[in-house]
């Protein structure tokens, strides 16, 4: 197995940032230490900050990403907090996967804080995904909590394992699941970032799960 040097990882991350069409005309710096990537610089929107983070995670050899990019909103994306709050409410109402009536938002200097209580972890994440790409948003704080029904940890584990077992490539054989109350810790190896997202997605839709710790590693293939 060939192990990529930090220099090669840095070059690949920079190439991936240039390739991603969502990141045109950004000023992102990249440093790498033992497979850990640190992103610095400025972008014009929170969506671009997250896009840069996603781009770095796609690169083979990257273990972790520290996202220190600053959002400097351009004049063309400037919105008042009132305008952003109005857009957030409309977006939550229009998203069919978000129980908007259970979510409140606060906007201050472009930062959106989401609060409320929802039934599943996936609804909590869907709410963030719905608003983070809105023009003028500088960042999102997710304070939404997930209901904690009286479900035994072993029952949560069984439901998750059954969901993974239904998948054609038998993900359950390669994933270790630890459940502490409603907190799920995932570990093991997956073959790609897409597979990793599929595992987390299966877990996040399970009733009784209120948080997910992702310790999954993408297995390199040479």
CATH of the domain at 24: 3.30.1340.30
Whether the model pTM is above 0.75 = no
**SS3 assignment, position 57:** helix
Please report which helix (H) or strand (E) contains residue 50, including its range: helix 46-57
pLDDT digit string (tens) for 87-127? 999 999 999 999 999 999 999 999 999 999 998 889 999 99
Both 163 and 138 in one domain: the answer is no
Mean pLDDT to the nearest integer, 163-173: 64
Same domain, 140 and 180: no
Answer yes or no: is 54 within a domain: yes
222 pLDDT band (50/70/90 cuts)? very low
**Within a domain: residue 40?**
yes
What residues contact residue 134 under an 8 Å CB cut-off, 6+ apart?
Answer: 84, 87, 88, 91
Better pLDDT: 175 or 34: 34
pLDDT number for residue 24 = 72
User: By the 8 A CB rule, do 61 and 12 touch?
Assistant: yes
pLDDT tens digits, one per residue of 40-90: 999 888 999 999 999 999 898 888 899 999 988 766 667 899 999 999 999
Which of the listed residues 17, 48, 71 is the one where a domain comes to its end? 71
Range of the domain at 95: 78-146
Share of the chain above pLDDT 90, in %: 42
Strand order in the sheet with 183-190: 175-180, 183-190, 211-218
In a domain, 161, yes or no: yes
Nearest one of 83, 72, 76 to 107, comparing CA atoms: 83
50 and 84, same domain (yes or no):
no
Residue 1 falls within a domain, yes or no? no
Q: Indicate if 187 and 171 belong to the same structural domain.
A: yes
Hey, which residues does 39 pair with through a beta bridge?
A: 30, 67
Tell me, what's the pLDDT at 168? 53
Number of domains in the chain: 3
| Chosen domain end from 146, 177, 196 | 146
Using CA atoms, how far residue 8 sits from 28, 33, 67, in Å, is 17, 11, 19
Q: 148: phi > 0 → left, psi -120 to 50 → alpha, else beta; which?
A: beta
What distance in Å separates the CA atoms of residue 25 and residue 32, rounded to the nearest whole number? 22
* Most confidently predicted of 12-26, 46-60, 164-178: 46-60
The candidate with the shortest Cα–Cα distance to 36, out of 19, 59, 69, 52, is 59
Residue by residue, DSSP assigns 75-125 as GGG---HHHHHHHHHHHHHH-TTS-GGGEEEEEETTEEEEEEEESSHHHHH
Residues 137 and 195 in one domain: no
- Which residue would you say has higher pLDDT here, 215 or 101? 101
* DSSP label of 220: P
Residue 182 near residue 208 (C-beta atoms within 8 A): yes
Q: Tokens 């610089």 appear where?
A: 41
Q: Which tokens go with 11?
A: 């070059």
Q: Domain ends where: 28, 52, 71?
A: 71
């Amino acid at each position: 197995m060939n192990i990529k040097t930090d220099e090669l990882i840095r070059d690949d991350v920079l190439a991936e940032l240039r390739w991603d069409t969502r990141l045109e005309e950004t000023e992102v710096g990249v440093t790498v230490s033992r497979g850990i990537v640190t992103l610095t610089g400025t972008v014009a929107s929170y969506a671009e900050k997250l896009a840069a983070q996603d781009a770095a995670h796609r690169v083979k050899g990257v273990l972790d990403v520290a996202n220190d990019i600053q959002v400097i909103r351009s004049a063309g994306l400037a919105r008042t907090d009132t305008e952003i709050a109005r857009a957030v409410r409309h977006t939550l109402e229009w998203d069919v996967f978000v129980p908007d009536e259970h979510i409140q938002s606060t906007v201050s200097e472009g930062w959106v804080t989401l609060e409320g209580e929802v039934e599943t972890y996936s609804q909590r994440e869907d709410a963030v995904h719905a608003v983070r790409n809105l023009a003028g948003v500088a960042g999102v704080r997710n304070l939404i909590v997930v209901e904690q029904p009286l479900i035994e940890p072993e029952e949560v584990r069984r439901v998750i394992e059954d969901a993974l077992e239904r998948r054609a490539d038998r993900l359950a054989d390669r994933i270790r699941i630890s459940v502490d109350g409603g907190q799920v810790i995932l570990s093991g190896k997956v073959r790609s970032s897409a597979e990793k997202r599929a595992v987390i997605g299966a877990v996040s839709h399970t009733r009784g799960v209120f948080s997910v710790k992702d310790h999954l590693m993408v297995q390199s293939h040479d």
